[in-house]
Chains A and B, each alone.
Chain A
Amino acid sequence: MGPRLFQRPGPAANLVLRGARLLDPAAGIDEVRDLVVRDGVIGGDARGLDEVDAAGMVVLPGLVDPHVHLRTPGREWTEDVASGSRAAAAGGFTAILAMPNTQPVVDNSAVLGALIDIASRDAVIPVGFYAAITVGQKGQVLTEQAELAAMGAVGFSDDGRPVASAAVMRRALQYQRLADRPLVLHEEDPTLVAGGCAHEGAMASRLGLGGMPSIAESVAVARDAALAEYEDASIHICHVAAAETVEEIRRAKARGIRITAEVTPHHLVLTDATLEELDPRRHKMNPPLREESDRQVLIAALADGTLDCVATDHAPHDADEKDMPFEEAPFGVIGLETAFAACFTHLVKPGHLDLPTLVLRMSTAPATALGLTAPTLADGAQADLALVDLEAVATVVETGFQSKSRNSAFLGEALAGRVMLTIAGGQVAWRAG
């Protein structure tokens, strides 16, 4: 049995979107016409359905985010499955995969089972769960991955605490033959980033911030790519931020290693030039914002597919946690509600990436990389789609989030591309007010 996603039961969508541009590059669809959703499925007879005037807007296959933190269990005041999935729906996502670095860690069937129950009750879009690679994410003993995979775990990750031991990583890669799920790796050599809180470079040197060098990422990827090749296993690399890491991934792909990778909107759009404000709420995350030269390499790699997909690394923190000196505040920014608009505004509008490629990288590719069914606008498919007004520009404000947290890197920015309607798992999950 494959990976499973969970959503609360609800009425199937029945409506017709009138006059939108339908854009599903993977299915070869790019045309202006009506789109019918009947009983939660695309296609069929439009008669008798509620109509949505979608003229001038674009319908995309639903976005898929392979990397979010829903803070459940343990820190539900910063996010929970209901609020996080609502934030995802508001951002045009129709599937999200939640990381297991919760309190307690998702490292056994009891915790995973509880999360499945919660999502089946509260999730407004389909939500999948990773389980940890090692018990307690301590990097020592493998979790019961065969059982966890059978329950529907979408993959295994010690996100936030990279597996330091090469021997443990190797055992996990061997064990993949049994669990048959990707290992999703937060790549960072912990000894190289010790005491760091910002990209090691001119800006951190000027501000006196402990450095997190780019090579902390790339040496870890090099090690794990070599291990994956040796064990003929597949790995997915989280939130690539450094040019050096892109080079390692490119080399690994050229050798035929089964490796996929993601990049976040904030690393595609922002650099360490923002650090001067010493505002941890907007600009402190791990991996850190790096240099303009890195950003250019990330954009080119997303365009050519070396980086397969976009992931938000949505990491909610409440205001008090982030209201601390830069060095002391926790890492992470939220991203679900701004991901598409940030990429559209800063990558597509200036011409760095075309819209069909962005759609592939935010919908089809992340689904494929993590072994999920890719959303499509083709007739007969379950309705997983987003209706977007590309002309609508809105300023990101603290009061505008569905998420319980407001630690967005894009606060105060005017972004184009407003999600008007999201249908996920055949249900209407979001309608802009």
Chain B
Amino acid sequence: MRRRSLIAIGDLDRAEVARILRVANRFAEVMQRDIKKVPTLRGRTIVNLFFEPSTRTSTSFELAGKRLSADVVNVKASGSSIEKGESLKDTVLTLSSYAPDVLVIRHSSAGACEIASRHTDAAVVNAGDGKHEHPTQTLLDLYTVEREMGPLDGLHVAFVGDVAHSRVARSGIQGFAMMGAKVRLVGPPTLIPRDAEEALGVTTSTDVRDIADADVIYVLRMQQERMGEGALVPSLREYAATYGISHDRLRPGQRVMHAGPINRGVEISGRLADDPATLIERQAANGMVVRMAVLYDLLAAPQSAAEAAAELGAVAV
């Protein structure tokens, strides 16, 4: 049987997002205990297939699976047959022969998860594909903001910087908007995608002062590795001076997010990155419980509402 997949944040509706965030809350309680492991996914197999480097996403997915008692296998491009030129299709076919329940995939190209899901019966979870989407990052971002700041509905969120190359922004914009937040993109004209207003239902600005009315400032990493030839900004120095976020550009009460890894002194000042008042550390910490909730939702979630209520109570048992 083919399972549900999570490839784009738009694969979920508002109620499903809310459900996943509620389950994540339950798992957060479990994580306060001495024994941080539940038997929920015992006997299930999760393969983490990472074609691109990752620290946060790969670690938190691995821990999430293990805390749910699933068998977790990690496959990285380096050291695997991918280095010998094996195609994505063949890698997925090979791994699928072990009958995994979930394939978590990180890949440098948009559309990798669509191809993978064509060749496996496992649920495919997109852990970032090119510049396309990173839905579990968005779920943990939504979880973090809701937990720290309250309801998402009506919140103002400004994504600042390299929107063009950011899958975090692309999923995040749609996720925050889905939950009722207002989203604005602020950045240099060369890094704001064409027709962004129409494409993503946002407002855009090239003036960093336009973050003033935002409740959340989501700082995006300058992705120099994806820019190819032809600099999209004249220099990181000018970028930092024009768009870099530091304490001077914030007003009291604004909360700062960053998905990491951080370029200190480029998109965010080192002092701000280290300020415990930002949500950055919370984002990293919340990644695991939210990914637990995603795996639970794909593999163990009950179908009916009544079952759901009973099961949700049982999660922590």
**Which A residues fall within an 8 A CB radius of B?**
191, 194-195, 200-211, 213, 277-280, 320, 323-329
Contacts and interface: CB of A to CB of B under 8 A. Distances in A.
Interface string B230-258: 10000000000000000000000000000
Contact of B109 (A203, A213, A327): A327
A327 B110 contact: yes
A409 to B, nearest CB: 16
Top 3 A-B residue pairs of the complex, sorted by shortest distance between their CB atoms: A326-B111, A208-B131, A205-B193
A194 B199 contact: no
Contact of A207 (B132, B196, B228): B132
B115 A205 contact: no
Contacts of A200: 194
Contact of A202 (B88, B109, B118, B199): B199
A208 B165 CA distance: 7
Given A202-B198, A208-B110, 20 more contacts: A194-B229, A201-B194, A202-B195, A202-B199, A205-B193, A205-B195, A205-B200, A206-B170, A207-B170, A208-B132, A209-B131, A209-B132, A213-B194, A278-B110, A278-B111, A320-B89, A323-B87, A326-B111, A327-B110, A329-B111
B184 interface: no
Contact of A278 (B114, B170, B199, B229): B114
Residue of A205, A207, A211, A327 with most chain B CB atoms under a 10 A cut-off: A205
Interface string B130-156: 111100000000000000000000000
B182 interface: no
Contacts of B87: 320, 323-324
Contacts, number: 81
B115 A323 contact: yes
B216 to A, nearest CB: 21
B192 to A, nearest CB: 9
A328 to B, nearest CB: 5
B131 A206 contact: no
B133 to A, nearest CB: 7
A171 B298 CA distance: 62
Contacts of B133: 208
Contacts of B107: 325
A113 to B, nearest CB: 36
A328 B110 CA distance: 9
A215 B292 CA distance: 46
B306 to A, nearest CB: 35
Contacts of B88: 324-325
A277 B194 contact: no
Contact of B114 (A195, A204, A279, A320): A279
A329 B133 CA distance: 19
B102 interface: no
Contacts of B129: 325
A330 to B, nearest CB: 13
A289 to B, nearest CB: 15
A219 to B, nearest CB: 16
Nearest to B196: A205
A190 to B, nearest CB: 11
B103 to A, nearest CB: 14
Contacts of A210: 131
B267 to A, nearest CB: 19
B24 interface: no
B223 to A, nearest CB: 11
11 contacts: A194-B229, A204-B193, A205-B193, A205-B194, A205-B196, A211-B193, A211-B194, A278-B110, A280-B111, A325-B88, A327-B110
Nearest to A210: B131
B289 interface: no
Residue of B132, B170, B198 with most chain A CB atoms under a 10 A cut-off: B132
B167 interface: yes
Given A320-B89, A323-B89, A323-B115, A209 B194 contact: no
B110 to A, nearest CB: 5
B112 interface: yes
A326 B88 CA distance: 12
B125 to A, nearest CB: 16
A277 B199 CA distance: 16
Nearest to B171: A208
Contacts of B229: 194
B210 to A, nearest CB: 20
Contacts of A279: 114
Nearest to A280: B111
Nearest to A322: B115
Contacts of B118: 323
Contacts of A278: 110-111, 114, 132
B200 A206 contact: yes
B110 A326 contact: yes
A126 to B, nearest CB: 38
Contacts of A326: 109-111, 114
Nearest to B107: A325
Contacts of B112: 325
A325 B199 contact: no
Given A320-B89, A323-B89, A209 B200 contact: no
A328 B130 CA distance: 11
A404 to B, nearest CB: 20
Interface string B193-209: 11110111000000000
Contacts of A203: 199
Interface in B105-130: 107, 109-112, 114-115, 118, 129-130
A213 B195 CA distance: 12
Contacts of B196: 205
Given A194-B230, A195-B228, A324 B115 contact: yes
Given A208-B167, A323-B89, A201 B131 contact: no
Nearest to A327: B109
Nearest to B132: A208
Nearest to A197: B110
Contacts of A194: 228-230
A206 B109 contact: no
B195 A327 contact: no
Contacts of B228: 194-195
Contact of B110 (A191, A211, A325): A325
B180 to A, nearest CB: 19
B94 to A, nearest CB: 15
Contact of A325 (B111, B193, B194, B198): B111
A205 B130 CA distance: 13
Contact of B195 (A201, A328, A329): A201
